Each structure stands twice: as C-alpha cells, then as structure tokens.
Chain A
C-alpha cells in the first residue's frame, strides 16, 4: 500500500497502489489533504490498487464532489478491474465524471 503524490504547476498526480480500504484510507486522505487545492487539476492512477472497499471509493467520490463547482479538472487515468468492479456495483461511478476516465 502506498500513495505517491506528484505536483507540477497546477496539476497533481496521485498514484495509489495496494490496498485502498478502511485500513489505509485515513492515511491517504491526510496525504491528499495536505496537497489539496480546489484550483489544481488532479490525475488519479488506480491501476495498482488490488483491494478496495466503500470507504476507499468514498474518499475518491469526496474528492470528485469537492471539485464539482471548480474549474479544475479531475480524472482517473487508469484503474484496476477490482476498482472498476467496485465502482459499478456500488453505483458510485455516477459521482465520477465518467468522460474523464481514460481507458
């Protein structure tokens, strides 16, 4: 489990790997919050996430919702099957701006 945050100019990239569950979510949230600004564009890479639960999805949803009225762009650049499956089953996919998911 790890989160890597890279910020260049007005754009941040979060690379999350391993477990995105209740056991790690607080740590990730704190790390993201430190860097968070509603004016920054965000790319999220979930390719290497192999375990996710609703608390993990809720974190991503909250970030999305927080940027809803901002001009900043947020997108998930890639995601693992596990995450995609969980988003579908929980219907939280609707929170995401699905056009911004790059396959």
Chain B
C-alpha cells in the first residue's frame, strides 16, 4: 500500500468521524466536544493532505476548518446550513481524495461549497478571499496579524536513517512554512568530507523561528508522522521579542518565492538571525518526544493490516487444517504412539490458530451502522419525513467480508423502509402515531449466526397489493390461499415491486431480489414480516464466518458429507424395524416427538442399498427438528469451506465442499435448503 493510499484510508476514517460529529451536532448544537472532534478531523485532513501533495484538498479543507475555528471561538453558530455544508464538504473531500490533479468539475464544486460557506460565515470573519488558490491560504495566515501571534523556536534533528526510512524533512519544513512566518536556519556542521559521505544518511538539522497565530497543537501536528528517533523540540520564545522578530522574518518570507539571486540579502539576514538567536532567552522546552511516545503506545494497541494479508493468512490456515487432517489420517493408520501424540498436539494448535485467525477478521458491525445515519438524514429530508435511526448491538462482531458485502443490501432495505414504510408526518399524525418515524437497526449473536433486523414503525406491507401483483405476474393462482407471511416474502422475487410511484429511491422492483441474492451469497437468509399499520421487520440471518466451520463428517456408501456442527442436535440409530413400523412415512419418534427425516442416499441419487442400521442426524431447522439418515457418523471435522466452482455453484442443498485428510472431497450440506427442497417436493406430490 502506498503512503498515499494510507492517507486516503485515514482520511476516510476521519471523514466518517466528521460526519458522525456533524450528525450529533444536528441533535445537540451546543456540544463543544463534537465541535472539537470535527475541527480536529478537518485539521488533520488538511495537514496530512498538504503533506502528501493533495493541495486542492488542503486548501479546500482549510476554509472549512476556519469556519469551525469560528464556531470554537463562539463567533459562529452551528446551524442546519453549516451542518449541511459540512456534510456536503465531507462528500466533496472524498472526491478530492480521488483526484489529485485539477479538474474543472471538481474545482467548480469546491467553489460552490465555498460560496455557500462564505455566505454563511460572512466576509469579515473569513479574512477576505475564499478563492481556491493555494497561495491564498498562506497569505491569509500572513495577514493574520492579531495579538495572538506567538513565536516559537523549533529544533529538528532528523534521525540519521530517516531518508532510508522514507521520511523526507522537506515536506515538514514546507508545512511549518505554511503555518506562519517562518525563518529556517539549516545546520550543516555535521556534513562530512565527500570521501566519508554516505548519501543515504541524514547529517542535517534545522532551527526554525516560527511566528504564528496557530496553537502549539497545530505545530506538533506537523510532526505527527515523524519517527520517534527524530529529536524535535518546540519552545515558545519570550513574547517581548515578538514585534521585532515578526518584522525581521517577514522580509525573509517575502523573498522566499523569488529565485536564488540575492546573496547579500541572505547573508545580512543571517546576521540578523544570529543576533536574534543570541538575544533570546531559552524558556522551558516543550519536548514533542513525549507526545510521540504516547502515540506509539496507541499504535501498538491497533495494528493496521491490509485485508488481503488477512485473507491470505486465512487461506494458509485453511491449507494447514487440511494438512493437519492428512497427518491425523496417517497417524491413525501407522499406529505409532509418538506420531499420534504429535498429531494431537498439532491439531490443538492448529485449531487455536484457526480460531485466532478467524477472530482477527471479526469487526464490529457498528462501523457499517454509523454510515446509515447520514443516509437516513438525507433521505428523510428529501422526502419531507421525520425519521430517526436507532441502532442497537453495534458491537456485535462479524467477519469482515460479510460486513463489507452487507452494506449495500442494508442500504437498500433502509431505503425501502424510509420510502415505502414510514409515512409522511401528516399521515402519521392522522393515524394517531407520533410524527417522527423510527427505523430500528439491531444486530445480535445467536449461536453461530448473527441476526440483523431492520424494523420500521411505518404502515407495513400491503398484503392485498402483493397478492394482486403476484396473481398478475402468475406467481400464484387466483384460488390459492398463501399465508400473509408467504405473501410478504414474495417481494424478494425478481421484478416485484408494489410501489405506486417509481422514485429515485425505490420502487423499480430491482433491488429486493438483489438483496436476497447478496445475502444468500453470504450463506445467509432474509425474510420479512409485517403488521399492517404497525410496520415491517426484515430479518437477516448471517453465518459468523465464511471460511472454516466445525462440521460433522458423515458417510453414505463411502461418499463423505459434512453437516455444520452448529445445527446438529443429536445422532440416533434407525433400525429396519422402526422403518417398517412407520408405514412408509419417513418419520421417527424421538422422545415422544415425531421428527421427519430424509435419506441422504435418495437426495444424492445413490443407488446402493440401505444398511440394516442407519444413523439419523437430527438438526435444528428454525423452531422445528429434522433428520437426515446416513450410513456412518465419522466424527467432528474442522471444515475448510471451498467453493465448488462455476459449474456447480447453483446447486440447491450444497453449501460447498472440503478436502479431507485422505485427499477425498466431501460435500458440505446446506441442510435448511435440503429440507426446503424436500418440503416443496412433498407439497407438489400431494
């Protein structure tokens, strides 16, 4: 990952934070913490942006930051318009992150936002120009000759190896230069003779006298990415010297943009500087070192790793688990106790490794939730509805891949709730509800699944409209009497929309089927329930992980299958006698309860004969129980889920395959799908 990508990623996180702060401010405009958070986010985006060459972005963010500085000082009030501008600016900064070069569309968008901001902030408080020119940013700061200007002496001694570590002091000097009026003195005393010179080592150090209206924090922020090994001190210089120092340095800065052609001037200035430095007393130093130590501890707590690395780690663990299975198999065959011991130890370790690796990929789902606040806010404004998004269980963890792929379906479902579900304030009032609608987004753990629900308190689904539409589309016949629940779930069929108007938000009937497919791709299930007048609830059940599961390995006439262990309740025997007693019905009595069962042999069209004693695996299927008969239960098996490839991906009842220690392939059963298949077949037969 390039350093620019790292910046983009960090900026993206900061933008999310900024957005969250804005939305909180919308609720509580007086929250000073939120203002600070927003300000810090903008400030860091601006600073790092400038450092990595995103000049347009830095210039643009600077204006926004200025506005929030005014808010902090109490000169500007948080208004809806300011929040709206800030949110739009956040989006715009995202665009700016993508394009480094000039682009007339983007420039125009920047200008429009700045014009809005200017209108709000007023010309007085904004120090004049709002133009996009980068140089203006610096000029503005130079103009800020308020009493708040303080002078700092900054010493920078980069670590000897800083070049090799990719840290160039030049951008830092440039950034300090942008903070105010800056006089830089380079110390070249340590430069060796040419024959002893190592081109990749840094021998230089700098002393900088900076006069700025920025706070100490802003100066420290310049060094935020610098290695700990750099020696950096920042000290404030006696204020009584300010006046003279400011003017002296001013003239230096004036010449900075000119070419190197003024030798005498530079020399004389150096003399001035020497005098100045002598004159100044050295007050207490504020070592930045301490701060960077603190940051370091923070870094250790969280290590940022690219997702691909985790994916490849997961793949490797998968391969290890398969190799482990082979080891177990060989150890079993060889009957060597030493080898068996090793194999057992290895098995324990590899299963711990697997759990740890899976744990690494787990992320709290709340990161996705917070993005929806903005969506709800914008949509409800567009539609003139009052809607509050309430989230619960944001700390629930899910596999990263699942979270990534879940975002789009969730957006679609929330949009649907807002567009179709929740009524306008007038309608709500007329039906005795509060004017403000609520969308409740929750996530909870349940066994090896995570259940995400999206619940709204809107009008609910119109079962009759769905019925008509279904008849019109030939999905059901006129005389059939499906339950309301079945009708509701028809909306997940392709091309099914009952929206009376097609809006840009929803109503085109594309989407719900895509939602269903995306969730099924994640091995999840989606269903909807609704109470007319009270609202609808969409429930999504997702597996915790997509990579490795604990399975129960079974066989039917030498063919191996795996059933996910989490749904297995018990294994019991089925004798020929019991089969006879059931009069051809595939039912078995388990402790007084009749459980239907299915022969895997028949499901997979295996022609061999049933053994005298079969095993039945009883699995949970929602609230009911269901059995599968097999020849032999081999035992628990760490199952690395592998796809079956394009040829077989559409097969119902098969969730994938895995490779066993012997090198054989075992089919992983999708038990709920098999049961559904059996139930439908049964219904058609009757």
Contacts and interface: CB of A to CB of B under 8 A. Distances in A.
A91 B170 CA distance: 10
A15 interface: no
B194 A62 contact: yes
Nearest to A92: B186
A24 to B, nearest CB: 9
B261 interface: yes
B188 A61 contact: yes
Interface in B165-190: 166, 168-170, 173-174, 177, 184-186, 188
A62 B204 CA distance: 11
Interface in A38-64: 52-55, 57-59, 61-63
A72 to B, nearest CB: 12
Interface in B182-227: 184-186, 188, 191-195, 197, 199-200, 202-204, 206
Contact of A55 (B185, B195, B202, B266): B202
Contact of B194 (A36, A55, A92): A36
A59 B203 CA distance: 10
A26 B200 contact: yes
A16 interface: no
Contacts of A58: 191, 199, 202-204
A61 B203 CA distance: 11
A89 B168 contact: no
Contacts of A84: 259-260
Interface residues of A, number: 38
Given A90-B170, A90-B173, A91-B185, A65 B202 contact: no
Interface in A11-49: 21-22, 25-26, 28-29, 33, 36
A98 B185 CA distance: 16
Interface of A is mostly: helix
B168 A53 contact: yes
A86 B266 contact: no
A28 B197 CA distance: 13
Interface of B: 163-164, 166, 168-170, 173-174, 177, 184-186, 188, 191-195, 197, 199-200, 202-204, 206, 256, 259-263, 266, 270
A20 to B, nearest CB: 11
Contacts of A53: 163, 168, 170
Interface of B is mostly: loop
A72 B197 CA distance: 20
A52 B163 CA distance: 12
Contacts of A90: 169-170, 173, 184, 186, 204, 206
Interface of A: 21-22, 25-26, 28-29, 33, 36, 52-55, 57-59, 61-63, 65-66, 79, 81, 84, 86-96, 98-99, 101, 103
Contacts of A57: 170
A96 B184 CA distance: 15
Contact of B163 (A54, A66, A92, A98): A54
B263 A99 contact: yes
A58 B194 CA distance: 11
A87 to B, nearest CB: 6
B184 A98 contact: no
A102 to B, nearest CB: 9
A93 B252 CA distance: 13
Nearest to B187: A91
Contacts of A91: 184-186, 206
B265 to A, nearest CB: 10
Contacts of B199: 25-26, 28-29, 55, 58-59
A89 B191 contact: no
B188 A65 contact: yes
A98 B197 contact: no
Contacts of A55: 163, 168, 199-200, 202
Nearest to A103: B261
B173 A103 contact: no
B186 A94 contact: yes
24 contacts: A22-B164, A25-B163, A26-B199, A29-B197, A53-B163, A53-B170, A54-B163, A55-B202, A57-B170, A61-B191, A61-B204, A62-B194, A79-B260, A84-B260, A89-B184, A90-B184, A90-B206, A91-B186, A92-B186, A92-B204, A93-B266, A94-B186, A98-B260, A103-B261
